[in-house]
Amino acid sequence: MFRFSLLTAAFVFTGVSAWAATGPIAPPDSIGVEYRGNKLLIKHRVTPGETLYGVARRYKVPVEDIVEANSGQKGALVTGQVILVPRNRVVLTQPAAPKATAAAPAATRALATDARGNKVYKVEPGVTLFAIARRFQTTPAELSRLNGFPANYNVRVGESVIVAGTAAAAPAARPSTPVAATRPAPTARPERDEEAERDAREAREKEARERAARERARDSASSPAITPATPATTAPAAEREKAPTRASEIVRRVSESGLATAIQTDASDKYLALHKTAPVGTIMEVKNIMNGQSVYVRVIGQLPDTGENTNILVRLSKRAVQRLATPDQRFRVETNYVP
């Protein structure tokens, strides 16, 4: 009986000790955690070359949540800076070691293998280079390096893309003949929109005309005054009509940055936008700050500054959001347009 009592007490003490030892475990690459209300915040020290987007992908949280947790963090991160990452779960998988011989992700094991031993993925309809990178746990820059793509390359349906290369393979540039055989004609590109291209061309022509008008105004201001003996009609009539007569006629580009999101009720296949201040009909360039992708859109209406639009700079059609290749519902953009 005495031995049984001692054994029972030992089991109870071991269970209580194990229960007391449980608690939130900080991820291996963090420097601690803290609580604000009911939210868990992970302290992360920025490493050289690390960006907000990279931290968001590593911890699997939206970039906007990190910006909000750090009092509106703007600009690039600084090496050694400590930022807070909000998390609902503390468990974090270890990042893969950056070695050429690291094991391939499970998603690539079922892919076909080419003559060099590279894992090759055949592009399906509606898939972008960014989506392929997320699916196979890599980056668009790495896919561009493996396949010899430019940074702003748009993959095509049926094209073979290398997603995992071997140590012996060195695909600095893809062979021209096989690629030409797998790419459809340029007119069959799913990303092409003739109306958007025409709008972008008109915007560039308008900017060129305005630049020429500014140069003529500057030249006319620096040239000597016309004497009474010189007739005022010596200049061509077309130039006198186009040259601005007031400083207010010289138009400047408007650049803004902020959050963008999709138009929920949009059902078109055009590149459209709602903006708070830009006039209807304005051709606007929208650039995704995270990946550098850009798209030209046409403003079709004013965005009311009420409700959930308070912190939104511009709302885009779903086709335009797809062109910017972002996985987030809200993302940071930079807009440029001529009013």
**What is the C-alpha to C-alpha distance for residues 162 and 112, in angstroms, rounded to an integer?**
10
User: What pLDDT does residue 276 have?
Assistant: 86
**Residue numbers in the chain where pLDDT is lower than 70:** 1-30, 74, 88-106, 166-196, 221-251
For residue 243, the model assigns a pLDDT of 53
Structure token pair of residue 140:
């668009």
* pLDDT value at residue 251: 60
Domains of the chain in sequence order: 22-87 (3.10.350.10), 106-187 (3.10.350.10), 195-215+251-337 (2.40.40.10)
3-state secondary structure of 22: coil
Give the Cα separation of 327 and 322 in Å (integer). Answer: 9
| DSSP conformation class of 295 | E
pLDDT for residue 99: 45
Residues ≥6 apart with Cβ < 8 Å to 93 = none
d(CA 184, CA 182): 7
Q: What is the pLDDT of residue 168?
A: 42
Residue type, 300: I
Q: Which two tokens stand for residue 158?
A: 């049926």
pTM over 0.85: no
pLDDT (0 to 100) of residue 41: 86
pLDDT at position 30 is: 65
* CA dist., res. 35 & res. 33, Å (int): 7
Q: Where is 255: in which H helix or E strand?
A: strand 254-262
CA 132 to CA 139: how far, in whole Å?
Answer: 9
- Give the whole-angstrom CA distance, residue 41 versus residue 43: 7
Q: Give the strands of the sheet with 32-36, arranged side by side.
A: 32-36, 39-45, 82-87
Q: What pLDDT is recorded for position 316?
A: 93
Task: Please compute, for residue 47, the number of CA atoms within 13 A of its CA located in the half-sphere on the CB side.
Answer: 6
Q: How far apart are CA 119 and CA 205, in angstroms?
A: 45
Taking CA 178 as the corner, what is the angle to CA 112 and CA 158, rounded to the nearest 5 degrees? 55
> Buried (b) or exposed (e) across 36-49, using 16+ Cβ within 10 A?
eeeebbbebebeee
